[in-house]
Copies of this chain bind each other. A is one copy, B any other.
Amino acid sequence: MDYEGYLMTHSLLLLSLFISPLLFAADSTVDAGDTRVDSDRLSATMQHMRTFGENAAGGSDRVAYSEHNLAALGYLAHLMAESGLVAKIDVAGNLVGRREGRIDGLAPIVTGSHIDTVPNGGHYDGIVGVMSAVEVARSLREAGVELDHPLEVIVWSNEEGGKNGSRSFTGAVADREMALPSLGAKTIGEGIAFLGGDPQHLAANIRHAGGISGYIELHVEQGAMLDRDGIAIGVVEGIVGIKRWYITIEGFANHAGTTPMDQRQDALYPAALIIAEVRKIITDEPGRQVGTIGRLDVKPGAPNVIPGEVMFSLEIRDLDMNKVNRLFAMISAAATAIAEANETQISFNQYYESPAAPTDKRIMALVKQSADALGLSNIQMPSGAGHDAQSMKGIAPLGMIFVPSRAGISHAPGEFTGPQQITNGANVLLQTVVAMDRLLR
């Protein structure tokens, strides 16, 4: 997009924000149990959203802070206005659409997700939750369903590149992040400003505990469990915690021809034993914890040189951080013994931690009840991937609803969830929002 195009998109976005959504005033209380989303309309908005950044490979290049991202927000602001929501861009570049509730002073019920994608990503991760949330607001209004709480539909900015949008709600975004590169050409700070935010004043977004009555997010599973077992709805138990380490083994690089086997300090051999041991420790214990070694670098890395140094990643995820820590303690003890037995040095460098975010048991029950009432099969499951929902930890009881991802494919053009599966999820979201409105008063 050239500069004129940029200005035009910005103008359209601003214009959309000021269209009054209050043409249809909520009037009477009706029973929401029979209310359903408009499946065709939801499919149509999903389809239109593809056009913002679809590439020749059929994937999406709508990375955070891109022109495609901005244009898509313009479209969403328009949809929000049509759906009875007053839209604004907040300081973090989130698009927030709000309608007021019947009782003054209640904190809002919030639902949302994201529309930014990884480069050459898919058309469902995040987008399903956003388009469904807007459709839920529209369906509720059209059915004349009023809520006691205000309802906010939020399109979080930059989920894929750091969750800066949702994290701004707890003040967790550090100043230095503004200078970090995003997945596109801009820094995160430049990107927030580009969307109409104010990167210098992110603190204006902070909501303290109780500042949100409840948070509920619909999302594609990004795994294959629902798809494999033909289950319609995942009742999410929480977003797993993640810890990541780099483990380095130092041996001694030497000539592969002239160094006898019994005189080697081969860094790769103990690394191999440790990889096998990690699998054993992770799987010997009951539960759904996962442990992954996804990166491994060998130095110097020549076929005729004994490896002198091996560095590899270790990632452990579980809903229970104590379990993550206990498993790591077992792994580090075993790894240290293996390294020593092979006359190598080992070191552990933890470089990442994302605490577990359990969902609220009451909201889990509402999600299950909603799915059951709709005749939709459902199971409880953890979310192995991270989501904006986890950013709400500490300020709101939170819940998540999963719908199937075909073959578990995600972050790729092949990502797919069928229209009926999305409609199922949107109807569960609608019923859960209504139920939360009653429960969380």
Given contacts A294-B302, A410-B255, contact A276 B269 (CB under 8 A): yes
Q: Would A257 and B306 be within 8 Å (CB), given that A294-B301, A298-B294 are in contact?
A: no
**Closest chain B residue to A276 by CB distance?**
B272
What residue of chain B has the Cβ atom nearest to residue A273's Cβ?
B276
B282–A306 CB distance below 8 A: no
Task: Select which of B244, B272, B294, B306 is within 8 A of A294 by beta carbon.
Answer: B306
Q: Which residues of B contact A386 (CB under 8 A)?
A: 257
- Name the B residues within 8 Å of A290 (CB-CB): 256-257, 259-261
- Copies of the chain in the assembly: 2
Beta-carbon contact of A256 and B408 below 8 Å: no
Residues in chain B near residue A313, CB distance under 8 A:
303
* Contact-residue bracket for chain A: 35 or more
Query: Chain B nearest CB: distance from A357 CB in Å?
Result: 13
Q: In chain A, residues 93-136, which have Cβ atoms closer than 8 Å to a Cβ of chain B?
A: none
Residue picked from A258, A296, A303, most chain B C-beta under 10 Å:
A258
**Which of A281-317 touch B at CB < 8 Å?**
282-283, 288, 290-296, 298, 300-307, 313-315, 317
**Do the beta carbons of A224 and B263 come within 8 Å of each other?**
yes
Partner of A279, one of B269, B292, B293, B383: B269
The answer to whether B288 touches A244 (Cβ under 8 A) is no
> Which residues of chain B have C-beta atoms less than 8 A from A240's C-beta?
257
Is the CB–CB distance between B292 and A385 below 8 Å? no
The complex places the Cα of A254 from the Cα of B290 at a distance, in Å, of: 13
Asked if A384 and B269 sit within 8 Å, CB to CB, the answer is no
A80 interface hit (Cβ, 8 Å)? no
Contact between A259 and B303, CB atoms less than 8 A apart: no
The reply to whether the CB of A152 lies closer than 8 angstroms to some CB of chain B is: no
Report the 7 A-B pairs with minimum CB-CB distance, sorted nearest first: A223-B258, A257-B384, A303-B313, A272-B275, A256-B292, A258-B384, A272-B272
